[in-house]
Structure 1
Amino acid sequence: MENKCKQKKLLHCFYVLPLFFVFSNAGAFDYGEALTKSLLYFEAQRSGRLPYNQRVPWRDHSGLTDGLEQGADLVGGYYDAGDHVKFGLPMAFTVTMLSWGVIEYGKEMASAGELEHALEAIKWGTDYFIKAHTNPNVLWAEVGDGDTDHYCWQRPEDMTTSRQAYKIDVNNPGSDLAGETAAALAAASIVFRETNPHYSHILLHHAQQVFEFGDKYRGNYDRSVGVVKSYYASVSGYMDELLWGAIWLYKATDREEYINYVINKAHIFGGTGWAITEFSWDVKYAGIQIIASKLLSEAKHKEHKGILEEYRSKAEFYICSCLNKNNGTNIARTNGGLLFTRQWNNMQYVSSASFLLTVYSDFLANSNQNLSCPRGNAAPEELFALAKSQVDYILGLNPKTISYLVGYGLKYPTKVHHRGASIVSYRERKGFIGCTQGYDEWYGHNEPNPNILIGALVGGPDQDDEFLDDRGNYVQTEACTYNTAPLVGVLAKLNQLDGLHLIGSY
């Protein structure tokens, strides 16, 4: 049975591509098309009652009784990958990254005509989190069971697997899940502040309550929700998520209590102690450190300069390791130039690194600074060049000349490990397809999936740039929402620069 794209360990990093390679293919990709398709993917992952403007025609309503047995309305949200479990931690990280992308590059999304779709993708997640937060000290963590789900190969519309729901509460804490959910809600409240102020206020209210709950009743959520351990175990613990939630609440509220939390707990929670070479659904330190670094440019934070400088030092360790400019600890890369963290679903680390590199490049450029690494300085352009090279690799500039963003380009994975995409659409064949029937008729056959999972970023190639397009090769062909989410903002920026003919001179 599959172990999923969630399996992971900690702390790895990458190398930088030569600049001549990065820019030799400038203008070859339609980043606007890639942006459009990346946002379309989230509609394919929707659970619940689909809206009238649903753009993915092969999906229909599903999970309409979620939470019913527990007396809660848990209809909605996202399936994380190719299965039908709704895992709270990666879902929240997905929404946080989509929101951060809009905060940084919303104007670029608007100019591409995609901002509304980005807002819809965020709101589909936050609407669910509001439902899942049924009490100030209760947050529903998961709907469905990964183990029983993986015995079935069904369309979500036919789902017969367990929809048991699991929660965290005072007696069963989950500070990591609460912290990430608070971050998602707080970041989204910033996104909707101008266009939907009432909704923004509701999001912020829930964010503050969820954070307070997670901070007061501390513990790892995978100890309270044991069924998640094989899929989304909290390897990094909960301290990074509490710092993550606090810094997003500070950005959303400008309240001193949250910046004081980030400053006062910097050492004991590892924010200024961990030098990290990974940013993911589990490990948030690099993201925290980069946001904290950006606060240094604001005069009102002078009193916190010392601690913020420590955060910045660790942020730059991450960036330098991506650029291969640390002494000793750097992230590996393939011969084709792909940042390579680990075999299982490596593209999640590539997209998140590309986003952080882009954000930090902008920060350095806007403050007229260069990056100082142990093995040499780097101008902002070099950071962005690396980010662009990774996106270009994803879109087809790689030894296999295949686009790992499904549906983009002439050649892309056609046998994605995804139940809904691999079985004929419910709209075409309404007859029930059972667990084993799905495996017998659809999982094992060699034909391309009948439905294209447009915008999905699959796990990608191995350390030798090799890739096998096979439904059973879930290590490489399964896609997850948090793979695509960080890519959205970077694609928006690349599209804008491409439109201005500034890609090669940025």
Structure 2
Amino acid sequence: MKAGDGESDHYCWERAEDMTTARLGYKLDPEHLRGSYDDAIPSAAKFYTSSGYSDEPLWIAAWLYRATVEEYYLKYIVDNAVSLGGTGCAVREFSWDNKMMEFKFSKQRCLASRAQYYTRNLTNIRNVTISVFHVGFESWYKRIEPNPNILYRALAGGPNDKDEFFDDRSNYEQTEATTSGTAPLVGPFCKLQAVSGNSGYHQGLPKLYHKPPQA
């Protein structure tokens, strides 16, 4: 299932609760296959280009078998693992586009015995401009209304390939805060918090939770 349109949704700067515009919905499954979903839905190709869907059924079946212990899901894996490419392949990453690693891990629990690439080129995550990119703390760009939300500790898109940053609401590729952009920082920050002795925050940011007012 896919909902919405990547272009129009990115230009809609409002909370999901306040959206009143129509949103497109697409249904895709093995019984009603239209080929690669980004061929069937061109608007998706710019954001999430798919290399195939064969990993999803195996991954889902492995987790459902683990959760329910129903033989139906195990039989599905046995009958389809070879044809769907779940055996004998060298998998080097677990991503939204390739879940074969998680399929192998959940099915065989032998991730430690397989050579995986844990290192990547660090250049892309270095802040070479030594700049901080905050969205929501300044004036609401080209509008006079106050911003209804301030998203603390989120990461905006940041500089482009020429190391330039344009602080413009219409330039969502650089100014929008996304879960995919923020997610890689969650693990390192949690680790730093753990090794620091859980001593709390020292960045002058407001607390996420506040005590309720006294009656």
What TM-score do the two structures reach when normalised by structure 2? 0.61
The DSSP-based 3-state class of the residue aligned with 2:56 is helix
The DSSP-based 3-state class of the residue aligned with 2:26 is strand
Q: 1:486 to 1:401 in 2, by over 3 A?
A: closer
Q: 1:165 aligns with which of 17, 24, 28?
A: 24
Query: Following the alignment from structure 2 to structure 1, what is the Cα–Cα distance between the partners of residues 98 and 3?
Result: 19
Aligned residues: 194
Q: For residue 456 of structure 1, what is the aligned residue in structure 2?
A: 154
1:129-208 equivalent positions in 2, closer than 5 A: 141-143=2-4, 145-149=5-9, 152=11, 154-156=13-15, 159=19, 162-168=21-27, 174-175=28-29
| Cα displacement string for residues 399-433 of structure 1 (whole angstroms, at most 9, x for unaligned residues) | 5555xxxxxxxxx31247xxxx8875xxxxxxxxx
- Percent same amino acid among aligned pairs? 35
Q: Which has the higher helix share?
A: 1
Query: Following the alignment from structure 2 to structure 1, what is the Cα–Cα distance between the partners of residues 128 and 7?
Result: 36
Q: For residue 231 of structure 1, what is the aligned residue in structure 2?
A: 47
Q: 1:227 to 1:469 in 2, by over 3 A?
A: closer
Gaps of 5+ in 2: 200-215
Q: For residue 289 of structure 1, what is the aligned residue in structure 2?
A: 104
1:414 aligns with 2:111: no
Asked if the contact 2:58/2:86 (under 8 Å) is kept, the reply is yes
Q: 1:147 to 1:475 in 2, by over 3 A?
A: closer
What TM-score do the two structures reach when normalised by structure 1? 0.31
1:332 aligns with 2:30: no
Query: Following the alignment from structure 2 to structure 1, what is the Cα–Cα distance between the partners of residues 128 and 133?
Result: 15
* Cα drift, residue 224 of structure 1: 5.0
Q: For residue 60 of structure 2, what is the aligned residue in structure 1?
A: 245
Q: 1:265 aligns with which of 80, 88, 97?
A: 80
Name the aligned partner's letter for residue 470 of structure 1: D
Gaps of 5+ in 1: 1-139, 169-173, 176-213, 297-311, 324-330, 335-339, 341-346, 348-392, 403-411, 425-437, 443-448, 502-506
Asked if the contact 2:81/2:87 (under 8 Å) is kept, the reply is yes
Asked if the contact 1:166/1:225 (under 8 Å) is kept, the reply is no
Q: For residue 165 of structure 2, what is the aligned residue in structure 1?
A: 468
* Cα drift, residue 142 of structure 1: 0.8
| Cα displacement string for residues 127-174 of structure 1 (whole angstroms, at most 9, x for unaligned residues) | xxxxxxxxxxxxx5314x334445x554347656x4133231xxxxx2
Query: Following the alignment from structure 1 to structure 2, what is the Cα–Cα distance between the partners of residues 265 and 248?
Result: 15
1:14-413 equivalent positions in 2, closer than 5 A: 141-143=2-4, 145-149=5-9, 152=11, 154-156=13-15, 159=19, 162-168=21-27, 174-175=28-29, 214=30, 216-219=31-34, 220-222=36-38, 225-233=41-49, 235-294=50-109, 296=110, 312=111, 316-317=114-115, 319=116, 321-323=117-119, 331-334=120-123, 340=124, 399-401=128-130, 412-413=132-133
